[in-house]
Amino acid sequence: MSDMSIGRLSALSGVKVPTIRYYESIDMLDAPPRSPGGQRRYGPGHLERLRFIRHGRELGFGLDDLRALQDLSARPDQSCDEADRIARRQLQDVERRIAGLEAVRAELLRMVERCSHGVVDECRVIQTLSEHALCVHHDQAGQTPSKAG
C-alpha cells in the first residue's frame, strides 16, 4: 500500500505522471518523501487526495476551488456553508454552459440540415457564418473549441 512509485500512484488514481508532478509543483499535492536515489515514494494519503482532485476535476471545479474544498475537508467540525456555496456556484456555471451549448447546437443543426451539399456559394454553413442576421440571438457558449483530453 505504502511506498508507491509515481507510476503506481498514477495507475491507481487515473492521473497521469506528469500531471502528478505538476500538482506537486503548484502545491495541490504534498511533496512525498524520496527514495535514497531521489525518486518519489507515495503513501495512501496521497492516493486519496489525488482521487479527490480527479473527481473534482471531472465535475469541472477549478484547482483553486478544489484547494479550498480540500482545506475544508480537513476541518470536519466547521460549517459546510463555504463548500455548499462553491458547489452551487459550480452548478450554476455548468447550467449556464449547457444553456449556451444548447443554443449553439440548435444553430449548428440548422446549418448542417439545411445545407444542400452543392457548392460553397450556396452552402448554408458558410452563409450562416457570414450573415449573423440569419441567426437566433446566442451570446455566450461554453468556450473551449475542439480538442480536449
Partner DNA sequence: CTTGAACCTCTAGTCACTAGAGGAATTAGG
Partner DNA sequence: CCTAATTCCTCTAGTGACTAGAGGTTCAAG
**Within 44-63, which residues bind DNA (CB under 7 A)?**
57, 62-63
H/E segment holding residue 54: helix 44-58
Residue 20 vs 111, nearer CB to DNA: 20
Of 12-51, binders to DNA (CB under 7 A) are 16-19, 21-22, 35-40
Residue 47: closest CA among 77, 86, 5, 101:
5
**Contact predicate 90/65, CB 8 Å:** yes
Of 82-121, binders to Zn ion (CB under 5 A) are 84, 107, 115
If one asks whether residue 140 binds DNA (CB under 7 A), the answer comes out as: no
Q: Which residues neighbour 66 within 8 Å (Cβ) at sequence distance 6 or greater?
A: 28, 52, 53, 56, 57
Dist CA 88 CA 95 (whole Å): 10
If one asks whether residue 141 binds Zn ion (CB under 5 A), the answer comes out as: no
Of 100-129, binders to a copy of itself (CB under 8 A) are 101-102, 104-105, 107-109, 111-112, 115, 117-123, 125-126, 128-129
Of 69-128, binders to DNA (CB under 7 A) are none
Q: Applying CB under 5 A, which of residues 16, 39, 78, 80 lies at the interface with Zn ion?
A: 80
Look at residue 83 and give its three-state secondary structure.
Answer: helix
Q: Applying CB under 7 A, which of residues 75, 117, 137, 147 lies at the interface with DNA?
A: 147
> Which set of grid coordinates corresponds to residue 4?
508507491
